[in-house]
Structure formats: structure tokens, C-alpha cells
Structure 1
Amino acid sequence: MSQHSDINDTINSLDTTDEQTSNNTSAPIDTDTNARHEIEPGSDKHIRIVNTFMKRRTHMNKNAELALTAPEFSEYLVNNSFGNGDLSGIDDLRALFADSPNGSDAPLTLEIGFGLGDSFIEMAAAEPARNFVGVEVHEPGIGKCAYMAGTQNLSNVKIINGDAIQLLKQLPENHIDRIQLYFPDPWQKKRHYKRRFVSPERMAIVTRSLKQGGWFHTATDWEHYAFWMVEVLDGFAGLTNKAGAGNFTDRPDFRPMTKFERRGLERGHGVWDLIYIKD
């Protein structure tokens, strides 16, 4: 498999500067300055935080709106804050299931950016003995996901509204069995590569929360991003490529194929899965 010549240079040039432009001009960047800045300890200066996501204004259907407001769905919503994404006090995902049939010691999966939640809910329904937490920033997806969980009477699902990286920073070490990142924004313009979720800096945060032997599983339909991730992850100390260095893995049975993925495959587009195990 050929590597892309500019990947090394781009990885080495990752920094904490950001740009106000986006690769999707129809979807404005979240203007919440608290989401983009933090105070450096011991300094009165702001440092720019590079988001890996872009908050889009999308239509919310009635079912999603109902799930965000009706009390019968509230058990699924850890912090239903309507766009605020306040993660204060969320520092133990296992404790969220203390009163559930599975309890807090069951295998735990965290999915980052579940979108509208279809495959996330399908996985949770297929593995009722495993607990699933999804973190997302888009309220229509959060609402739809909660609605599906409620109508299927699932007891192993919790949904968090907010930035996954900030959430991971608040969690204990060796806390999660699997972390899933499916079809993240590829940020295909070179000046936006710093926004890509898979980077050495962010993977240090991700692996900290994984248990020894835990999995980081990602999938993408962008070839450049696929090879970018192989290069970053194969070179990251503490992770081992389940398929062997430089290789991709077949889609595992537990990851449902989405309609968009199926449509892309029918058109000859590729999809690349990667599973890395924490040493």
C-alpha cells in the first residue's frame, strides 16, 4: 500500500493554532468561545483550542425534539443542556450504569460522534450485556438517538452532549474497554489537517482512558485519512495494530454497515477499518 508523501510533514507540523474557515461553508463553526479557548495555567493569555468537530445547524424532527424534552427519555440523557455541552461533574462513565441491570462493572464502549445514532443503537441492542456511552455535539442526533433507545427500552445506553476530548480528559485512567470513532470528519484540506481527530496529541488522551487490552476502533471512507491514521497509530507507543503494522482490518461483525457506507461501496468507494489494542 502506498503512503502519501505529505503525511509525515503534516503530522510534524501539528500545532495549537486554528483558522476561522471551514471545509463546509454552509455549516458555520460554533461561535461559543468557551469551546475554542482555555486559560493557560499561570497565564492571563488565551490559547486556541483546535476543535475536531464543527457544529452544524440541522433540522430537528418531532421525535428528536420529544426525546430532548419528555421525561420518559431523560434517563438516557446525561447532560441535556440544549447546546451548552456542559461536562461538569462527568468524571466516571461506569457510575452512570450503577442502577442499571448490567451494573457499573459491565464491559464499556464509548462512541465518539455517533451522528444520528442508528448504528450506535443497533450495536447496543445487539449486545445487551455491554454498556454503551455515546458523546455527540449535534442536538438533532442526540434527540434521535435517545428516542430510539427509549422506544426499544434499552437499559445499556447513555448519551452525553459535549466535546469528546474534554470528556476523556476528565475520566480516570484504564476506564473504558472500547473507544469507537466511525467516519469522523476527514478535514480534507491540508490547512485543516490539524483538526483531524487522530493525531499523536489526541491519541495520548484517548489511550490514557483505555484499559490494558482495550480497543480503539476507527473507520473512514477517505483514503488519505485512512493512511494518515495508519501512520499515526502504528507509530504511537502503547498501541498495537490488530491486523499487523501497516494493515487494515476487515469490518468486524459488530460494526453495522450504514446505508451511506453501503451506497459508497456500490459505487466503488473504499472503506477502511482499523483496530488498535492498548499494550
Structure 2
Amino acid sequence: MRLGYHSITWGGVVGAPQGVTSIKDLHYLSHGSIEAAVRDISAAGYEGVEVFDGNLVAYAECPDVLTELLAATGVELVSVYTGANFVYADVLPDEMHRIESACRLAARFGASRLVVGGGARRAAGTTAEDYDRLAAGLDTVVDLAAEHGLEASYHPHLGTIVESPDQLDRLMERTRIGFCPDTAHLAAGGGDPAALIRRYADRLRHVHLKDIDLGTVRFLPLGRGELDLPDIVRAVREAGYDSWLVVELDAYDGDPREAAEASRAYLQKLLDDLGA
């Protein structure tokens, strides 16, 4: 297995403010320096990085800056994360326009995977049709990604209509998109991450590892929270998955590099102990 790290820890996650009035411009992004993130991720011993679609947009007109950085650090752009509401028919074309743009940029910088979150909660309440709309939208994402040589997977997320195991089941039976388990989000949604990985072993296409304090719903470096990470990694291995494990930590009070190093040390020891 190869180890990657998400750049989110350098600046946290925000949304582009122009998206309030223009859905097609509503990208995820982190406000920290991508250059600093990639250098720190490399120094911490990771081979790959995942970034938000909005951070790639910043390099659309100066691609050499990012490609030269990746080459100099020996870090591979593994995956790009994006998302959408998916349930609002009127704005869906603009959301798909943005996702297709993300696919194009991801491929341009050498990524092989697109990770997608979403499924908005309506103010008036979620309808049964919302899962159908989300599933249909995700199937379209699969095709858009494939057109650019990318493999797409869905990331269940707190704050969407896919938090709990039942909600995940409800979606997965309706769509053909791959599964990207986020171990902390699955646990916070009331699920057993290892059990859900085993349930959808044949759909496993990408993995996000993060730890969590379930009492405070605070995300933590690997090994500092409550998750049974050895069983989670065993479940990943049982699925026959032998590819990227991407560590993700939304925020950290100290030096982001320190957090990356701590998770890297824990994960490497875990993989060595398991013979992975």
C-alpha cells in the first residue's frame, strides 16, 4: 500500500465565497499554502497528496508551478476532492460543469482518482426522491471522471443525507459509483468503519483514514482517537485493496507537518505489524 496525505490540514476547509451567488464557482478549497503542504507532506515521508478542486483552479493558468513542485518533492497528485448538492434539479447542470472542470484539471496534473461528497439536506426535510437524484448524479460523475481517465468514488460525510449506515445502504443500492470510506465520518455517523468496508469490499476504490474523539466529534491524528484502526486496515486488506491510503485531518492545533509525521509513524508501524 502507498501512503498519501490530504492538504486540508494546511488552512482547513472552506468554500469559495463566489459560490453563494454562482453555483458553478462553489469550489472546496483550503486557505493554506499548497506549496508548503506538498513540501511538508514529502518531508513527512508520504508519496502522494490529495487536494481540493478549488486549490487546483489556482494553478490553471500557471500549471508549471505545481508540476515542478510535485516533481521536485517526488510527491504524486493522487486524487482530487469535490462535491455538490445533487438534489436540486435547477442547479445540477452548473454543478456538473464544475465537476467536469475538476476532472479536466485533475487529469492535467496527473491524478487518477476523483473523490466526491454531497447530497444536500433540504430545509424542508429530505425526500425519498433525493436519494434517487443523488444516485443519478453520482452515476453521471462516474462517466465524467472516466472520460478524463479518472476513477470516481463517493465519500459519506457528516452534514449530508448520507451519514448513517442505513443512509449509505440506501444510496449504494441506487448508484454504481465506487466507495471511499472516511473512517471518522463513518464512525461519527453511527457506523462501524471496518464493518462497512467489509460490506462494500467490492466497491472499495479509495480510502480516507482519520481518527476521532467521538465524544467531541473532534478529528485527530491516527492512533490518538477511539477508532480500531488495526481492524480497519485488516478490512481494507481483506477487500483485496492494495493501493493508496490517504490520511486526512481537517484541522490541527499545532504544526500540520507534526500531525502528518505522527500519523505516518503510526500507520507505518501498523502496516508493518500486519505485514501489509
TM score, norm. by length of structure 2: 0.36
Which has a greater percent of helix?
2
Give TM-score, length-normalised by structure 1: 0.36
